[in-house]
Amino acid sequence: MGVENTIQSLQNGYAHLLDIMIVMVDENRSPKTETSYSKREYEESFSMQIVRAIPNLAKIKSSIYVDILPGLKVLVSPVRISELERYYLIGGVILVDETVEVVKRYLQEHAEGKVFLQHLDLLKIVTKEEKINILAAFQQLSQSIQAIHHTQLKMEAYQKKISQAKLAVGYLTDERFNLDLLLQQFKDIHPELSFVGIAVYKEEENFSVQHFIGNTHASVIGSEVALGEGFLGQALVTDEYMYWTHLQDDPRLLPYNNFGLTPKSLFCHPIKIGKQTKGLLYGGSEKAEGPFHAEDISILASFIGVFMVHQSLRESFNHHLLQLSTFNEIFSVMTKVNNMKRVLYILIDMGMNILSGSFACVLFKEMQEENKLSFLSRGMKNDHLHQYGRDLGKRYFGSMPLEDTKGSFHQLDNGSLVYEMPITFRNEVFGVLSIGVRSKDEVNPYIPFLSSLGIAGGISLYLLQKESVQQSDEKTVHLLSRMLEKQEPGKFERSVQAQELIGAFAHELGLSIQQINALRNACTLAFYEQDVLLDSLSEKETMEIMEHYFQAKVMKSVENRLAKILFIVLHHVGEKIDIQLKQRLIDEPLFQQFEEWESKNYMAEIEISMGAETPVEVGLGKDEMKARLNLSNREMEVLHQVLKGLNNREIAQSLFISDHTVKNHMTNILQKLGVTDRSQAIAKVYQMGYTPQ
């Protein structure tokens, strides 16, 4: 993948992630990349209008938001291509949620806002926090593109230096050119040489022979050179060109003799990269005074140094491009995958492949269940999984918040080394990617890439889990219910009765949880005017039911099945319905089905004492029971379920509330009854003379 394609892919990935249009232009506003479109369908002409609307583009020096019209913000980030040339990354259009109505009015009232008013659905509406996060991500994209361009410029500069060196030595035109070929050609040009080799820096001031041309090639390769020892070691200490003659009886020749070499003269020349010695060029001759040309040897050593830099940069550049390409591909896949475990296994597989790890695993938590951790693994034996998983959980999800979200090395009890990379987004840790590695040195070059991989995984998991958590109208409905209780107690009581009936009947019909919740919400919302609810609802099911409900009140006819259920139940609890609409509902099979179900499931059951002298007692009524114990409506509902023998989980499912909420209600009920457990509560209620329906 070329540099241009890599940049385009990176830009496309960020456009999809941030859900905005992105394009890069020069100072004349001419496109330098193809426009990357978000999930919204921008037109090319509209995108260019956005670019042209940015004032003083050439004066922008940092990543900022620019108002192209009051309230309409466009992201602009300069990308320095060279000392004299700059490009500009453009993204938008952004609209802060609290300014939506003001901006709409401005666009309607001003001619220049007409085109944006026509494309209002393309504008991305965000919160203030999201606005800040989008700017940070946009700046990261700008920096990445700038880094790619700078790497390309450096590569081009070194390639130019290599070309000049090749021209200087003329014969280095073969594409198969390498240091062994160079040494062979140098030896061929200088027949007085018996051998020539290169020792390369290894570690801890030691060098090893990596290239050698002579009669004993195979045996010399890999031999080590210690600092200060022998001819080569002495040259390393002085860090200068050295030349020895008449060595026939020199005891320092013993190591050479062991390899079958009998030089009578030697030269050594440091190979420098900058101020550091990275290698040593040396050679020997059978002549007591070898005709070595110091200038030729110096040129060769310099050229080898240049070649080593070139080789290192080329490998680094290719590696960098490979990482960017791989990251783009991973990011593209991860933003399209809609299964969390598939995303996690992508992280595991890529981690193992990049580091050639012996195993990899991910510990993660789900947004919906804060106290639950899950563990996925490839290659780790089961007897280590639980122990390591618990250890990871304590260190990354313990009581103390994790301050440092950078990757780190950790040694397991069995001596294995692992690299642990937190999977994060917005300073929140979603999980930990752990990879079994052989050494720290093998991991260090890949740490920046692994860090990006962890962030990409965090973004993907955040988006994936955020999409799975449906926005709820529960708070709005609860507020409206409380208002109804204070202002219209009679209507409130009917709404509560309707909720109980409609929840049970909808469950009998096999409706989904979303539909049942929507119907229960509608039992409260039906007591309010339509204009009150216009901007209050967010759930699709609830909105559709209420739209059909209000339409039916006007048209005196209802076609939607869920709306029919709502009217039938409201009629049953005593809410007045238009006569014409009521007659049509009575003729519905659904109405008959409800009547049969209700008569079967809601029969009153009371005990009557038949003693001759004892007056008949029918016990406490529901309202009297509530008043005597000071129970709320929801606590009364929970108490009903307890008296039916349901446990907390079953009560939660029946009332469509969480287990935690049920526990809170139970604690309040037990306190108000003055008992300590459920069995005492049931006995106390029946002793008070209350019999639930």
pLDDT given at position 381: 67
pLDDT given at position 403: 64
Tell me the C-alpha distance between 85 and 345, whole Å. Answer: 42
pLDDT (mean) for 286-309: 77
pLDDT given at position 340: 72
Give the range among 121-130, 164-173, 416-425, 447-456 with minimum mean pLDDT: 164-173
Residue whose C-alpha is closest to residue 290's, from 191, 220, 212: 191
- Torsion 138-331-19-541 (CA) sign: negative
Nearest-5° Cα angle at 535, 531 to 539: 115
pLDDT of 613 over the 50 cut: no
pLDDT (mean) for 629-653: 82
**200, 183 contact by CB (below 8 A):** no
Residue whose C-alpha is closest to residue 186's, from 307, 275, 276: 307
The fold of the 338-468 domain, in CATH, is: Beta-Lactamase (3.30.450)
pLDDT of 412 over the 80 cut: yes
Mean pLDDT of the chain: 79
CA distance to 49, 114, 650, per residue, from 109 (Å)? 20, 9, 56
Q: pLDDT category, 629, cuts 50, 70, 90?
A: confident
Q: pLDDT category, 617, cuts 50, 70, 90?
A: very low
Q: Which of 366-380, 522-536, 662-676 has the highest mean pLDDT?
A: 662-676
pLDDT given at position 89: 92
Q: What is the pLDDT of residues 134-172, one digit of tens each?
A: 899 899 988 888 888 888 777 765 564 455 455 445 544
Tell me the C-alpha distance between 93 and 19, whole Å. Answer: 10
Helix (H) or strand (E) holding 4: helix 3-18
Residue with the bigger pLDDT between 614 and 128: it is: 128
pLDDT given at position 90: 92
CATH 3.30.450.40 spans which residues of the chain?
179-315, 338-468
Which residues have CB under 8 Å from 305's CB, separation 6+?
A: 271, 272, 273, 278, 279
- For every residue of 574-639, DSSP letters joined together read T----HHHHHHHHTSHHHHHHHHHHHHH----------SSSPP---B-HHHHHHHHT--HHHHHHH
pLDDT given at position 576: 86
Tell me the C-alpha distance between 77 and 60, whole Å. Answer: 8
- Locus of tokens 């008949």: 616
pLDDT given at position 423: 84
Strands 124-126 and 86-96: parallel
pLDDT (mean) for 267-282: 84
pLDDT of 432 over the 80 cut: yes
* CATH number 3.30.450 is the correct assignment for the domain at 3-155: yes
pLDDT given at position 204: 62
Give the range among 404-418, 517-531, 619-633 with minimum mean pLDDT: 619-633
Q: Kindly report the length of the chain.
A: 693
Tell me the C-alpha distance between 605 and 619, whole Å. Answer: 11
Q: pLDDT category, 76, cuts 50, 70, 90?
A: very high
Give the range among 103-107, 368-372, 432-436, 643-647 with minimum mean pLDDT: 368-372
* CATH number 3.30.450.40 is the correct assignment for the domain at 179-315: yes
The fold of the 622-687 domain, in CATH, is: Arc Repressor Mutant, subunit A (1.10.10)
pLDDT given at position 647: 80
Return the percentage of the chain with pLDDT > 70, whole number.
82
Tell me the C-alpha distance between 642 and 638, whole Å. Answer: 6
pLDDT (mean) for 198-207: 77
- Locus of tokens 């700008």: 142
Name the DSSP letter for residue 62. Answer: S
**485, 561 contact by CB (below 8 A):** no
pLDDT given at position 319: 57
Provide the whole-model pTM.
Answer: 0.31
- Torsion 116-119-124-127 (CA) sign: positive
pLDDT given at position 24: 92
Residue type, 460: S
CA distance to 117, 429, 636, 644, per residue, from 693 (Å)? 57, 49, 12, 10
Give the range among 171-185, 240-254, 279-293, 449-463 with minimum mean pLDDT: 171-185
| Encoded tokens for 138 | 């946009």
Q: pLDDT category, 88, cuts 50, 70, 90?
A: very high
pLDDT of 602 over the 50 cut: no
pLDDT given at position 565: 92
CATH 1.10.10.10 spans which residues of the chain?
622-687
pLDDT of 217 over the 80 cut: no
CA distance to 200, 225, 529, 651, per residue, from 307 (Å)? 13, 22, 80, 75
| Encoded tokens for 167 | 């021209």
